[in-house]
Amino acid sequence: MSRHPHSPRSPSRSQPQGPSQRQLRAGELVRHALVEILREADIADPALEGVSVTVTEVRMSPDLRHATVFVEPLGGGHAPEVVTGMNRHARFLRGRLGRAVELKFTPELKFVHDESFDEAARMDRLFEDPRVRRDIQTTRKGGD
């Protein structure tokens, strides 16, 4: 029995697959739970002392057993130290997470710095450059 190449059961090789709805829902559930845990938990670690951490996104693996947690320290300072501190306490946070969410498996947590804030700031600086601004204005006038 052969399948038609465009049947719903055959995987598409031409386009990369994004996360499933299940992964997206689980990621948001984990993100909200981690925000609450971090707000309430008192983690004794010099790298995290007095630091407010924003959980910007959680990306779940297809089997929901692993979560990549994107974080940004308030103000963006000391991000490498904060991420290292968060990873030191990943087991503790996973334990709290297991009591806070109802998932078949509590995912392993890996914390990484969310680079999107730095990239957005870099783009803002780029657009403020007088040469770039001039090029944008020239392009807009020529395209009208």
pLDDT of residue 7: 47
- Domains of the chain, first to last: 21-113 (3.30.300.20), 115-144 (no CATH)
Condensed to tens digits (0 to 9), the pLDDT of residues 113-135 reads 988 756 666 666 777 777 767 77
Distances (CA, A) of 63 to 5, 11, 67, 118, 120: 26, 17, 10, 30, 31
Could you report the per-residue pLDDT of 80-96, keeping only the tens digit for each?
A: 999 999 999 999 999 99
Of 4-18, 19-33, 89-103, the range with the lowest mean pLDDT is 4-18
pLDDT in tens, 35-81: 999 999 888 888 888 888 999 999 999 999 999 999 999 876 788 99
User: Could you tell me which of 78, 81, 82 has the C-alpha nearest to residue 55?
Assistant: 82
pLDDT at res. 120: 60
